[in-house]
Amino acid sequence: MSTSVVLPALGESVTEGTVTRWLKQVGDTVEVDEPLLEVSTDKVDTEIPSPVAGVLEKILVQEDETAEVGAELAMVGDGEGSGGDASDDSAAADDAPQAAEPEQTEEAPAEPEQAEEQPAEQEAASSDAPTDSGDATDVILPELGESVTEGTITRWLKQVGDTVDVDEPLLEISTDKVDTEVPSPVAGTVIEHLAAEDDTVEVGAVLARVGSGSAAPAEKPAEKEEAPEPEKAAEPEKAAEDEKAPEAENSAAPEKAPEPEKAPETEKAPETEKASEPETPAQTEKPAPTPAADEDVDGRVYVTPLVRKLAAQHGVDLTSVKGSGVGGRIRKDDVLAAASSSGSAGQTQTASAPATKLETSPLRGTTEPMSRLRKVIASRAVESLNTTAQLTTVVEVDVTKLAQFRDEKKAEFLEKTGNKLSFLPFFSLAAVEALKAYPVINSTMEDDKIVYPDAENLSIAVDTDKGLYTPVLRDASSKNLAEIAAGIADLAARTRDSKLKPDDLSGGTFTITNTGSRGALFDTPLVFLPQSAILGTGIVFKRPGIAKVDGADAITVRSYVYLALSYDHRTIDGADAARYLGAVKNRLEEANFAADLGI
């Protein structure tokens, strides 16, 4: 009995996904929940597990093909029909090279080479790859979210004439909500750029054309008739197995024999990105299946574009990272752990040094264009300052009792919720509760009217390598501390992993920014339209203070924090701000949060 493997729902606005890599091949045995394949959408890369244990009998959607949510991807059963399914293109492609392998030890090497090339060409044709006749495939700007209609080309990663692999990034696109890479849908040569850097193009527009490049392939038919065919066949397969070395020695000139020795040198070359990129359809046709499902033919571990980009951002050398995924595949968590350990090692070494010295930034003395996000932030900041009357009110809050309560509960909170209990959830809860009592702080101005929303949607400022994002925690005033802590942790993680949906960045009515996380005492944050106020929370610090001890004033060590509220003076008066901050201050100093923990 066979069970269908279907493409599950991957988000509210995601309707389809592209198969980027099959982790199992026809005939392989799989366990329940063992990953079968990788699927990529415009928002997330994920693995699809097997719903049952058995044998992969049929692959219905090939690599680089797109399937709709709910479509059948494969069949898993008891394996009775897996070996004899002649109609399965994937099975036929896998069986062809294996059948040709025994002939390599008995016959001249030229004929097995031709036998191996045929399935590769058929596979490339089935994947809509450009043909040798010079056919070109259009690269279009994909949908980047429901409300995103256009994007700006920030950088071309491949120039005209460069060769690209399937899913290898061609260019970088920036919108007002997200920055992303656009990969090549096929393997071939970049024939034409149809838009330049800094050009803004609409979703669905053609960005470039990728073809096979008719000049080089045109010479191959003539060369295959000549004796030195193995030499030509070896060129497109730079990462071929060592078993091809005897073929070159028997059928070509002596100087071609050392070519297989160059493969290890290629692995050590600085171009680690190419080494880790997805294989073309032709490269996936191996003479025999490799034991590690996530390794390329030359033994290098496959890395998704998302992980490769994350490694580049954190300066992590992927060749030194040990993957925890299937077959040793490197995951995002592996890269982040490597970056963290590298930072810790650097801190340890620095701590033992006589003085702390900062590294010189490579940006020093250079010029770079502003990113799309930075341009949007700059434009909105100037617009906000030019159209609103902003000022800031600051209060000092004694959070000694709150700090004691947090110390008592943080271990239990972490054990029961899995999230750390920082000060930010307390500040957030007090802030949104006070918004219900003083809704003018949560209001917006439309023409000559003041609009009071019926919910407190809290925007959380998140600092990333790309810039500042403010994802929204909706209906925050109805949540307890555990729910707020979990919501903040989720939004921050998805922001830094570039997994935010466009809807996550809209609908905020009030913003909180934790400038104290970087050690700032306080700042005067900037209000961004259409909101009317933003609360900045500084670092919690200790200093001597006056407190009542046995009814008398005494100097003791106290914990303090500064809260800074910036607001639009057109609708909010200083007295309104003071009343609001007073309510937040009283709530935090009382520290009666036992009933709000949610554990």
- Closest to 525 in 3D by CA, of 442, 466, 461: 461
Query: Would you call the peptide bond into 530 cis, given omega within 30 degrees of 0 as the criterion?
Result: yes
Amino acid sitting at position 37: L
Contact 58, 85 (CB under 8 A): yes
Contact 285, 173 (CB under 8 A): no
Per DSSP, 104 falls in state G
At residue 374, φ and ψ (nearest 5 deg) are: -65, -35
Confirm whether 573 is a catalytic residue.
yes
Dist CA 26 CA 30 (whole Å): 11
For the packed helices 89-100 and 110-126, what is the interaxial angle rounded to 10 degrees? 170
- Closest to 462 in 3D by CA, of 499, 416, 410, 411: 499
The widest CA-to-CA distance across the chain, in whole angstroms, is: 104
- Closest to 391 in 3D by CA, of 231, 577, 586, 538: 577
User: Which of the following is catalytic: 138, 162, 198, 573?
Assistant: 573
- Closest to 183 in 3D by CA, of 236, 141, 230: 141
- Closest to 433 in 3D by CA, of 336, 502, 517, 535: 535
Amino acid sitting at position 445: M
Contact 63, 281 (CB under 8 A): yes
Amino acid sitting at position 75: M
User: Which of the following is catalytic: 314, 503, 523, 569?
Assistant: 569
Provide the Cα torsion 504, 505, 509, 515; round to 10°.
110
Q: Where are the alpha helices (DSSP H) in 440-513?
A: 481-496
Strands 533-537 and 462-463: unpaired
Strands 458-460 and 510-513: parallel
Dist CA 279 CA 207 (whole Å): 23
Q: Measured between alpha carbons, how far is residue 457 from residues 435, 443, 444, 505, 509 in Å?
A: 10, 11, 13, 11, 5
Q: Measured between alpha carbons, how far is residue 473 from residues 476, 479, 487, 575 in Å?
A: 6, 10, 7, 28
Amino acid sitting at position 149: T
Catalytic residues: 569, 573
